[in-house]
Amino acid sequence: MKSRPTCLVVAVVVVLTLSSVTFAQTAQPSGDTKAQTANAPAFDPHELTGVWVRGKAPRGNAPLSGTRPPMTPWGQAKFNTVKGSFSYSRSPGIAPPVAPENEWNDPMLQCEPAGYPRVMLQIYAPLMRFIQTSNEVVEFFEWGHTWRDIWTDGRKPIENPEPTFYGYSVGHWDGDTFVVDSNGFTDRTWTDPYGSPHSDQMVLHETFRRVDHDHLELVITLTDPKTYTKPWVSDKMFFDWAPKSPRSENEEFREDFCIYSDQANFFKNVDPVGASDAPVKNKTQ
Amino acid sequence: MKGRLITVCALAAGLLVFSGPVVAHHGSQGYDLSKRITLKGTVSRFAWANPHCQIYLDAKDDKGSVVNWAVELNNPGNLVRLGWTHVALKAGDDVTLAFNPGKEGKPVGICADVFFPDGRKLHSTQGCGIPQEPE
């Protein structure tokens, strides 16, 4: 019994230490990057192939950054329709109001695709995987077991492409930075778990940089003049290289689907508030 | 003893670090997070599925009637990280569950710790603090 208070103290100290690294320094790489690089295995900065686990930022359920650009009247009107569904502790200043459970309207609760860039900001399924071929880089996402094509064969972005959840993307190397430009997004998705809106005019400019063998850094710049009065530049996001998936018994990329019938059964059988009025039960698929 | 202390502390720290966001995935307002109950019973079903795995447990109430409890866990990917597998439980298993119950008397729960007769334990972190041994 004597060990319990000691344990608690140790736990709290560890938590506070890790929390400060995890949550407070989201814009800085962890540790001494030069020292890490000196001891890390050799790597090719143009080699992205592999499994990447979302690192210390964003932890999930985060917006691109805590400072969302001012919205246009169109964007604000769209944001006003959001019925928030969970706590927004990461960036409360830009959170939508949390609504009663029977009013939640997060499209992902209906098992709609996360879309891009939201798939990078979700709390669950924090893995992505790159495979590079001669004419494209394929970015796989654990959530939904889906992917997007990033064409690297020299083609230019298409003007007014068919709208999709994951957009139309072209990429090229600028030195050691992999630059991706995307458009053609459907406006059905939320930009992030906070319900931040976007229109079908949204374009993304992304820079991926493998800073050392084990770490990948990403910055997303969202430009959508229909929704925001200026571009929205994300905080730096970090991903840790993984030799295998830590989230699958088979050590493979997990089939992490949102299955509508499972979702409905969960709300029906377990969730105490949503048993009779959960949003997933109020709609047909 | 020292090794055990370190293990328990590390687990506790891990729980606290990872607890916040997970509990926020869906509504937790229907649960009484200040109350912890322990039930001994028989698993009737183990659902390995998104958005949350579930244990269905037949346990007798004060009057001797069997009540089927539905207790939610973390999602499959996070449970794998915690040492679970899709066959961690099966119908017919006799186990003891400790969890936070629903507020309105519905036989549901969250934040389950599972204790097997042979001494094995499984925990599902969902923001409910440090696992506690059953009374």
Query: pLDDT by residue (tens digit) across A49-74?
Result: 999 998 877 777 889 999 999 999 99
Residues A180-217 pLDDT 10s: 999 999 999 999 999 999 999 999 999 999 999 999 99
Return the number of CB contacts < 8 Å for A and B: 123
How far is C-alpha A265 from the chain's CA centre? 26
CB contact under 8 A, A272 and B103: yes
Q: What torsion, rounded to 10 degrees, do the Cα atoms A210, A212, A216, A222 define? A: -50
B2-23 vs A3-19: helix axis angle to the nearest 10?
50
Strands A127-132 and A136-141: antiparallel
Nearest CA in chain B to A87: B24
Give me the residue from B21, B30, B108 closest to A61, CB to CB.
B21
Confidence (pLDDT) at A55: 84
Rounded Cα distance, A111 and A116, in Å: 15
Q: Which residues of A touch B49 (CB under 8 A)?
A: 259, 262, 265-266
**Cβ atoms of A198 and A216 closer than 8 Å:** no
SS3 for A19? helix
Write the CB contacts of A261 (distance below 8 Å, at least 6 apart in sequence). Answer: none
B55-114 pLDDT, tens digit per residue, is 999 999 999 999 999 999 989 998 998 999 999 999 999 999 999 998 888 899 998 999
Q: What share of chain A is helix, strand, coil (3-state, %, to 5)?
A: 20, 25, 55
Nearest to B78 by CA among A50, A258, A248, A60: A248
Which pLDDT score is estimated for B106? 87
User: Of A108, A144, A120, whose CA–CA distance to A256 is shortest?
Assistant: A144
Peptide bond into A117 cis (omega under 30): yes
Give the DSSP letter string of chain B.
-HHHHHHHHHHHHHHHHHHHHHHTSS--TTB-TT--EEEEEEEEEEE--SS--EEEEEEE-TTS-EEEEEEE---HHHHHHTT--TTS--TT-EEEEEEEEBTTS-SEEEEEEEE-TTS-EEE--SS--S-----
Q: What is the pLDDT of residue A58?
A: 76
Phi-psi region of A186 (alpha: psi -120 to 50; beta: other; left: phi over 0): beta
Q: How far apart are CA A265 and CA A111, in angstroms?
A: 13
A3: which chain B residues are within 8 Å (Cβ-Cβ)?
Answer: 1, 5, 8
For residue B77, the chain A residues in CB contact (below 8 A) are: 124-125, 142, 247-248, 254, 256
* Burial (Cβ within 10 Å: 0-12, 13-18, ≥19) of residue A179: middle
Residues of B in contact with A60 (CB under 8 A): 21
Tell me which DSSP letter residue A25 carries.
Answer: T
The answer, for B113 touching chain A at a CB cutoff of 8 Å, is no
Q: Between the CA atoms of A103, A106, A112 and A115, what dihedral angle is there, to the nearest 10 degrees?
A: 170
Higher-pLDDT residue of B17 and A58 is A58
pLDDT reading at A6 higher than 90: no
pLDDT band of B24, cuts 50, 70, 90: very low
Could you say which DSSP state residue A267 is in? H
Residue B25 has pLDDT above 80, yes or no: no
Strands (E), chain A: 50-54, 127-132, 136-141, 146-151, 168-174, 177-183, 203-212, 215-223, 232-233, 237-242
Q: How confident is the model at residue A129 (pLDDT cuts 50, 70, 90)?
A: very high
What is the spatial distance between Cα A281 and Cα A284, in angstroms, rounded to a whole number? 7
Contact between A207 and A218 under an 8 Å Cβ cutoff? The reply is yes
Whether the pLDDT of residue A38 is over 70: the answer is: no
A232-251 per-position pLDDT tens digit: 999 999 999 999 998 999 99
Nearest to B86 among A19, A59, A249 (CB): A249
What is the rounded CA–CA span in Å between residue A150 and residue A172?
9
What are the chain A neighbours of B108 within 8 Å (beta carbons)?
270-272
pLDDT at B73: 92
Q: Is A14 in Cβ contact with B9 (below 8 Å)? A: yes
Q: How far is B95 from chain A (nearest CA, A)?
A: 19
- Distance separating alpha carbons of residues A247 and B98, to the nearest angstrom: 25
Q: Burial code of B27-63, b = ≥16 C-beta within 10 A, e = fewer? A: bbebbebeebeebebebbebbbbbbbbbbbbebeeee
B127 phi-psi bin (left φ>0, alpha ψ -120 to 50, beta other): left
Q: Is B105 within 8 Å of chain A by CB?
A: no
pLDDT of residue A201: 97
pLDDT at A269: 85
Q: How far is Cα A135 from Cα A155, in angstroms, rounded to an integer?
A: 10
Task: Output the pLDDT for position A33.
Answer: 42
Tell me, what's the pLDDT at A90? 77
Confidence of residue B34 (pLDDT cuts 50, 70, 90): confident
pTM for this prediction: 0.79
Give the list of residues 6+ apart from residue A132 with CB closer than 8 angstroms, or none.
Answer: A47, A48, A49, A138, A152
**Closest alpha carbon to A48 in A120, A119, A152:** A152
Residue A124's nearest CA partner among B45, B51, B38, B34 is: B51
Residue B105: its pLDDT value, please?
A: 83
* Cβ atoms of A173 and A179 closer than 8 Å: yes
